[in-house]
Amino acid sequence: MKKIIITGGAGFIGSHVVRRFVTTYPEYQIINLDKLTYAGNLANLKDIENAPNYKFVKGDIVDLEFINNLFATEQPDAVVHLAAESHVDRSITNPLEFVMTNVVGTVNLLNAAKNLWKGEYDKKRFYHVSTDEVYGTLGETDMFTEQTAYDPHSPYSASKASSDHFVRAYHDTYGMDTVISNCSNNYGSYHFPEKLIPLAIHNITENKPVPVYGKGENVRDWLWVEDHARAIDVIFHNAATGTTYNIGGHNEWKNIDLIQLLCRILDKKLNREEGESAKLITYVTDRAGHDLRYAIDATKLKNELGWTPSITFEEGLEKTVDWYLSNNEWLKNVTSGHYQDYYSEQYNNR
């Protein structure tokens, strides 16, 4: 019997990882540890909340005493660590919160695991989920490999880079079994509408302006979230100790092209005239320090562990738009209250 603490399991990617582990491995005990910040939502896990091998624990990874007690009580065999502050725009407004959760929180978890697992590091695993943003920004043709030097630019990516370094340090210094994956931008169901794709779907549907930063020329490499969750499963079970894998779908889009595609899809789905949704596109002041291009080379993951994306971007985007259109209640709940304050602070004077 394996007991795994998954942190950040009530968030976007974490909820897909929790669901995958709970349903694929009934013999594992899955503990979802989450603080339930604005980004955490137990409604993301309604379908599995009563599964016998699932338990939710509310708590803050920055709280060292709480973390030490939890590890002592639960005696986990592994950690899959996703809890983080994850939005670049929020990191520009409040960098310290990102240092606390992403750096201090990660070190707290590493310490608790180091103390609990002493003498049996070869039987336990600490899996750290990270981002391609640690590598910085690309020119027009190159790609991020696992050898690319770290060069973060936003407070978010700087905090994730720092946490990656700590995870490697715990492997190199103490011999802990650690694994890191760096993934490109995700999209899919349960994505909080502060990030580009769900925000655009939401605004187009509501006939609100769709904000495009700068000229919309920035390029992101998009991966369907369920393919990311499957990659995490494959890497967790098969990667050698101390290794790193990049995860991505070879799927680069300029922001403006992506938004125009979403407008066309939604024109059809909402029975609008062709071109009607695109009238909502509104260019706004660029993000400070905006990375131009991200692109992941996931050859190592494909060659060594056989993972490739399961669906095309067109299929994934269609599924995602359909999910948002038929989960209006979920969207309404997450966009009420504090979301309105956040939205006006971010966008009203842009």
Which residue ranges make up the site for ligand TYD (CB under 6 A)? Answer: 88, 185, 195-196, 199, 211-213, 218, 220, 255, 287
What is the crossing angle of helices 255-269 and 196-205, to 10°?
A: 40
155 binds ligand NAD (CB under 6 A): no
Q: Encode 266-298: b = buried (16+ Cβ within 10 Å), e = exposed.
A: bbebeebeeeebbebbeeeeeeeeebebbbbbb
**Which residues, including other chains, have CB under 8 Å from residue 72's CB and lie 6 or more apart?**
116
Q: To 5 degrees, how large is the angle CA 96–CA 100–CA 105?
A: 165
Nearest distance from C-beta of residue 297 to ligand NAD, angstroms: 15
The residue (of 85 and 177) whose beta carbon lies closer to ligand NAD is 85
Site for ligand NAD in 112-141 (CB under 6 A): 129, 131
Question: Which of 117, 126, 192, 324 is close enough to bind ligand NAD by CB under 6 A?
Answer: 192
111 binds ligand NAD (CB under 6 A): no
Number of residues binding to ligand NAD, judged by CB under 6 A = 30
83: left (phi over 0), alpha (psi -120 to 50) or beta: beta
Q: Which of residues 36-65 bind ligand NAD (CB under 6 A)?
A: 36-37, 39-40, 60-62
Does residue 148 interact with ligand NAD by CB under 6 A? no
Nearest distance, CB of residue 217 and ligand TYD, angstroms: 9
Q: Look at residue 11 and give the partner it binds from ligand TYD, ligand NAD, none, a contact being a CB closer than 5 to 8 Å depending on partner kind.
A: ligand NAD
Burial 195-220 (b: 16+ CB within 10 A, else e): bbbbbbbbbbbeeeebbbbeebebbb
Tell how far CA 258 is from the center of its chain.
Answer: 19
Element (H, E) at 200: helix 196-205
Q: Which does 255 bind (CB under 5 to 8 A by kind): ligand TYD, ligand NAD, none?
A: ligand TYD
**Residue 39 interacts with which of ligand NAD, ligand TYD, none, CB < 5 to 8 Å by class:** ligand NAD
156 catalytic residue (yes or no): yes
161 binds, among ligand NAD, ligand TYD, none (CB under 5 to 8 A by kind): none
Which helix H or strand E contains 177, and what residues bound it? none
Does 132 participate in catalysis according to the annotation? yes
Q: Which of residues 199-258 bind ligand NAD (CB under 6 A)?
A: none
Question: Which partner, ligand NAD, ligand TYD, none, binds residue 10 by CB below 5 to 8 Å per kind?
Answer: ligand NAD
82 is a contact residue toward ligand NAD (CB under 6 A): yes
| Shortest CB 124 distance to ligand TYD, Å | 31
Q: What is the dihedral of CA 72, 242, 132, 299, to 10 degrees?
A: -140
Show the tokens assigned to 116.
Answer: 């609990």
Q: Measured from the CB atom, is 35 or 195 closer to ligand TYD?
A: 195
Q: Where are the beta strands (DSSP E) in the chain?
A: 3-7, 29-34, 54-58, 78-81, 125-131, 178-183, 185-187, 210-213, 219-224, 244-247, 252-254, 281-284
Known catalytic residues are 132-133, 156
Residues contributing to the site for ligand NAD (CB under 6 A): 7-8, 10-14, 34-37, 39-40, 60-62, 82-86, 101, 105, 129, 131, 160, 183, 185-186, 192
